[in-house]
Structure 1
Amino acid sequence: MDIDKIKELVKLFKEEELTKLKVEEGDVKIHIEKSEVIQSGAPPAAGREDGGAAEEASSASGLTEIKAPQVGTFYLQKEEGSDENFVNAGDSVEAGDQIGIIEAMKVFNDVTTDHSGVIEEILVENGDAVEFDQVLMTLRKEGE
């Protein structure tokens, strides 16, 4: 891997506000990770180290919104050309389950959920370009 490729990856890391990036090309492995310093009383930063989607409750509907953790292309299908999705509306999911992938500059990042529940609605299509914090799906948490 040449230095220009490494510089491009670092630029992507900064521009997309990623918290972790792992790339393997042949016998070269690159791991970039941002550590966060949180001051007392300050809210945690928006980025997540585990690659999970940002989720927050939508008070009016009682649903939790699953949001894109970064900019890129969202893939709902497990494999290109496959009919099998990571999740479908009505599926039950457990906290930590993968619900899709976001690709940015040939780097594929898993999107996971923080909560257990049922996927109520999928708001994006396979292959859609998504923005940071865009709502991808809604989830009804267990017991609600």
Structure 2
Amino acid sequence: MNYKEIKKLVKLLKEEDLAVLSISDDNTHIHIEQKGIVISDQPAAISNNEPAAEVSEKSSELLEITAGQIGTFYNQKDENSEEVFVTVGDKIEKGDQVGFIEAMKVFNDVKSNVSGVVEEIKIDNGDAVEFGDVLLLVRPEEA
């Protein structure tokens, strides 16, 4: 993909008021967000990009950890395992992995931006998610 094609994609993103646009072919993956552009010229593989999970306040007590991208959310550590990253009642620290999102064979870790106790898991293992979908509700630690 050349510069002009990428420029057209950015223009399309703005004109259609899209938050995210992802396109892949055999050896190129382009992921464009309103906040910036990430271009990867590598075959689809496990990614270390680790997009930060968004945290927003739901009420004065619970915080939401939301999907940072479109894809499939997984709470299980791998497809052949029953072991999960977190369960309701688990104490998590800021930076702990709470799952991962797979999009087009690229796996991105979902990490917590808050320390606290997992109160509710809103998405089942293997469910499709969109940017901003609530994954977990966390009761933050007392300061």
Distance in 2, matches of 1:103 and 1:17, equals 21
**Within 5 Å, which residues of 2 pair with 1:74-113?**
74-113=73-112
The unaligned stretches of length 5 or more in structure 1 are 32-48
Please list every run of at least 4 consecutive aligned residues from structure 1 whose deviation after the TM superposition is greater than 2 angstroms. Answer: 4-7, 14-25
Distance 2:124 2:56 in 1: 21
Q: TM-score by structure 1 length?
A: 0.70
Post-superposition shift, 1:58?
1.2
Once the two structures are aligned, what percentage of the paired residues are identical?
47
State the TM-score, normalized to the length of structure 2. Answer: 0.71
Distance 1:119 1:67 in 2: 13
The answer to whether the 8 A contact 1:67-1:134 is kept is yes
Q: What is the aligned partner in structure 2 of residue 14 from structure 1?
A: 32
Residue 53, structure 1, aligned to residue 53, structure 2: yes
CA RMSD of aligned residues (A): 2.9
User: Quick one: structure 1 residues 134 and 59, their matched pair in 2 at CA, closer, same or farther if it must change by over 3 Å?
Assistant: same
Tell me: CA distance 1:19–1:103, structure 2 relative to 1, closer, same or farther (3 Å): farther
Q: Which amino acid aligns with 1:79?
A: D
Native 8 Å contact 2:50 2:108 kept in 1? no
Give the Cα–Cα distance (whole angstroms) in 2 for the partners of residues 82 and 106 of structure 1.
19
1:51 Cα offset (Å): 1.4
Number of corresponding residues: 117
Shift of 1:57: 1.1
Deviation at 1:52, TM superposition (A): 1.6
SS at match of 2:124: coil
| Counterpart amino acid of residue 5 in structure 1 | D
How far 1:59 sits from its partner (Å)?
A: 2.1
Q: How far, CA to CA, are the matches of 1:55 and 1:90 in structure 2? A: 18
Which residues of structure 2 form unaligned runs of 5+? 1-24
